[in-house]
Amino acid sequence: MGAEPVAYRYSKPIEYAGGQTEALLAVPLDSQVYTATRDGYPDLRLLDQAGAETPFLLEKSVEPHSEIVHERHGGGVAGMKPLGAAGIEVLLRADKDTPPTDGLTLVTPLADYEQRVQVFGSDDGKNWSPLVQDAAIYDYSRYMDVSNRDIPLPANATATLSW
């Protein structure tokens, strides 16, 4: 008398169109499998065609993500002047041999503001070209913890920035 197959509460077939030789397979587990198993997957079983348990290794797939890391560069404020009701102009000068600037972060004690910013770059301090036409910086801390003080810049090799 042969052994009866074990009845499982939930099962799902894995389609494999290969031959009879051993193979390494990557089988994605869908939400139905995750829902039917316990935390840590101690009740997950993989059975071959004869119903015998097959050893397996369970690894979570990793989704790539990017992270922005700011690196502070040498240089500093070379000048600042008011532009009337239009705002202020700030000149930033990079130290010699500083890598190209890929962004600015405004550090200010001010709160509850919203400003539109233009950024220009120059190698000689005379001929300016626009890098950013209309960036938004803001702080809405009066209402909630929402702010944006970063201004990303396109690829450039300028030594002086005006914004």
Q: What span, in angstroms and rounded, lies between the C-alpha atoms of 103 and 153?
A: 5
Chain segment 80-98, per-residue pLDDT in tens: 888 887 778 888 887 777 7
Beta bridge partners, 52, equal none
Q: Please provide the average confidence, as pLDDT, over all residues in the chain.
A: 81
pTM over 0.85: no
CA distances from 152 to 31, 70, 131 (A): 38, 11, 10
Give the integer Cα–Cα distance in Å for 108 and 149.
Answer: 9
From the list 24, 44, 25, the residue with the least C-alpha distance to 34 is 44
Rg (CA), the chain: 30
What residue type is 156 in one-letter code? N
